[in-house]
């Protein structure tokens, strides 16, 4: 587990500077070079996923798997009630979230945590706030089986898919050569391939990294500088500005119980290691201006307030008002081009398709 390093004297000194001392002209070239050592631009598209040193080619994305995954993503019949789809909690038109503190699932139950965005989730080191799923395929299996979410079972899901000939043909085309292509594993693999296309390139920040000085305004550049120099990048780094490692929430000072509920011990629930109590995966900050409310508890609706909470809880310092405004301005610059997805026409049910269960 990686912990936040102590702030440097330079960072603390910068945080203490009056706002007027932090509005000097920004050297865009120098700022860009510093940022390129910490961050990476979102690519325009992906052709493969899961590349490793041992397998540099990874798993190729195919049109057949992507299209199948899209249909499954939007199909509420993958849930026990026939009402809840992946799209319900991860709305492609709402920045990949549902805009609720915590999602509403089967039986109108409220889930325990805020729904993370699936946009750019392919770049996370692991999925869920506690990192319990190593990849998007494994993540896709979780909500289907969770009683508080879709409340289905793998066998019932496969039965539903097999009841519709259009689905059976689509699975055969997406997974050629397999004796039994309609499986829970292939359901998850197809959704993973579709979600790998849900990336948001060409944000103002990405264009700035590519050399366009005019892509970000002065406030956004000051915010980028403050983001790096005050210590935010200790947790929020890399291509997704987070999502790469785990950190205690409240490293310096624990926030109130509303923001950090006592009963949710984070990664400890996965590892059962005492050191992981109240440890969570650092939230990816791409498109964060679109994904309120914030934190795993989903109780903070204002991005400015979220920045202030993080500065006191994680950095142990109070950012001055100018810094907070500038960092919020920078975070608006990491909103990329949103995926343009046409809602698919879903396969027609048959007499063999299981009936929806009452909510």
Q: Give the catalytic positions in this structure.
A: 149
In angstroms, the CA 70 to CA 342 distance is 9
Give, as one character, the DSSP assignment of residue 159.
Answer: H
What 3-state DSSP class applies to 322?
A: helix
**Calpha distance 341→338 (Å, rounded):** 9
Helix/strand/coil percentages in the chain, nearest 5: 40, 5, 55
- DSSP one-letter code for 39: B
Q: Are 26 and 222 in contact (CB under 8 A)?
A: yes
Q: Which helix (H) or strand (E) holds 59?
A: strand 59-60
Residue found under tokens 């409220």: 110
The residues with which 266 forms a beta bridge, in sequence order, are 279
**b/e burial code for range 36-62 (CB count within 10 A of at least 16 → b):** eeebebbeeebeebeeeeeeeeebebb
Main-chain phi, psi angles of 246, to 5 degrees: -120, 145
Binding annotation for heme c: 86, 89-90, 106, 232, 235-236, 310
The DSSP secondary structure of 85-106, one letter per residue, reads -HHHHSBTTTTTB-SSSS-B-G
Q: Write out 230-268 in H/E/C secondary structure.
A: CCHHHCCCECCCCCCCEEECCCCCCCCCCCCCCCCCECH
In 3D, which of 52, 68, 60, 50 has the Cα closest to residue 135? 50
Which residues line the annotated binding site?
86, 89-90, 106, 232, 235-236, 310
CB burial of 66-81 (b: ≥16 within 10 Å; e: otherwise) equals: bbbbbbbbbbbbbbbb
Residue 47 carries which DSSP code?
Answer: S
Q: Is 198 helix (H, G, I), strand (E, B) or coil?
A: coil
From CA 8, how far away is CA 21, in angstroms rounded?
19
Please tell me the total number of residues recorded for the chain in this structure.
Answer: 359
């Amino acid at each position: 587990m990686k912990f936040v390093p102590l702030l440097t004297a330079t960072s603390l000194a910068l945080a203490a500077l009056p706002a007027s001392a932090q509005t000097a002209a920004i050297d865009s070239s120098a700022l860009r070079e510093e940022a390129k050592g910490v961050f990476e631009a979102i690519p325009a598209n992906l052709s493969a996923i899961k590349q490793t040193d041992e397998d540099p080619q990874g798993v190729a994305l195919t049109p057949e798997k992507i299209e199948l995954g899209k249909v499954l993503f939007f199909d509420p019949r993958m849930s026990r009630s026939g009402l809840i789809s992946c799209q319900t909690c991860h709305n492609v038109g709402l920045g990949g979230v549902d805009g609720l503190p915590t999602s509403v699932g089967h039986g109108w139950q409220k889930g325990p945590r805020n729904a993370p965005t699936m946009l750019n989730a392919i770049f996370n080191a692991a999925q869920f706030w506690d990192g319990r799923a190593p990849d998007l395929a494994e993540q896709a299996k979780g909500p289907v089986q969770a009683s508080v979410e879709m409340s289905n079972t793998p066998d019932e899901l496969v039965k539903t898919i097999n009841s519709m000939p259009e689905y059976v043909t689509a699975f055969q085309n997406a997974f050629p050569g397999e004796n039994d292509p309609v499986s829970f594993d292939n359901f998850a693999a197809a959704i993973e391939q579709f979600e790998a296309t849900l990336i948001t390139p060409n944000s103002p920040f990405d264009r700035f990294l590519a050399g366009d000085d005019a892509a970000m305004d002065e406030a956004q550049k000051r915010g980028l500088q403050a983001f790096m120099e005050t210590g935010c990048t200790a947790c929020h780094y890399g291509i997704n500005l987070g999502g790469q490692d785990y950190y205690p929430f409240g490293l310096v000072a624990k926030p109130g119980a509303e923001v950090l509920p006592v009963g949710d011990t984070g990664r400890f629930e996965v590892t059962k290691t005492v050191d992981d109590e109240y440890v969570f995966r650092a939230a990816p900050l791409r498109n964060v201006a679109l994904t309120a409310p914030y934190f795993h508890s989903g109780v903070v609706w204002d991005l400015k307030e979220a920045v202030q909470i993080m500065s006191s809880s994680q950095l142990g310092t109070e950012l001055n008002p100018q810094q907070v405004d500038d960092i919020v301005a920078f975070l608006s610059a990491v909103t990329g081009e949103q995926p343009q997805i046409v809602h698919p026409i879903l396969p027609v049910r048959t007499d063999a398709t299981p009936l929806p269960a009452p909510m």
